[in-house]
Amino acid sequence: MLIKIYPENPNEKIIQQVVEVLKKGGIIIYPTDTVYGLGCDITNPKAIERICKIRGIKPEKANFSFVCYDLRHISDYTKPIDNETYRILKKALPGPFTFIFNANKNVPKLLSSNKKTVGIRVPNNTIARTIVQLLGNPIISTSIHDDDEIIEYSTDPELIHEKYEAMVDLVIDGGYGDNEPSTIVDCSLGEFEIIRQGKGKLDQFL
């Protein structure tokens, strides 16, 4: 199913339909402030397994991001963050970044592994954040990749729907996506190390 949601002013009734799909273990494709993402409810192990199957990876090998509404959920999945790091996060988020932190004991339960780190996203996209807000907890997410070797990420929601409609429960058309992913920043050693330079420019917040 493909549904249209306008990012400037998302219809809350339609967003609630998305949330109900997630609560039932459904898989969605949704827009972010960077590329389109494949997501499910973080509390549903079977849904996480479905995403892993779509991506062709084992849960213990998966490097999924946890998409949060704001910084409040981060401490549920990470070890304590120092004040200076938190100050930077408050300035940089919502934004096109994935911050990697040391994971606490809640994360292995979700992904059936001994994961030491976890990636946190708070995208600057009203659709994505409203979904998480109404759901009441983060969603697990991974980027939608394109088969084209030149165009790495799929940007057209209608084409994404054509490709994935048999594999997912819902595709949100929130307009054309970006072709540049988030900037991945490793904070697990107490410093900010850029693992992948993407859309986000961290220098302006340091």
Scan for tokens 């990470």, then name that residue: 78
> Mind giving me the DSSP string for 133-197?
HHHTS-EEEEEPBPS-SSS-B---HHHHHHHHTTT-SEEEE-SPPPSS-PEEEE-TTSS-EEEE-
Q: Write out pLDDT tens, residues 25-76.
A: 999 999 999 999 999 999 999 999 999 999 888 877 788 899 999 998 888 8
Q: Rounded to two decimals, what is the model's pTM?
A: 0.92
- Note the pLDDT of residue 154: 74
- Note the pLDDT of residue 115: 75
- Note the pLDDT of residue 3: 94
Helices (H), 29-92: 45-55, 83-92
Structure tokens at 86: 């938190």
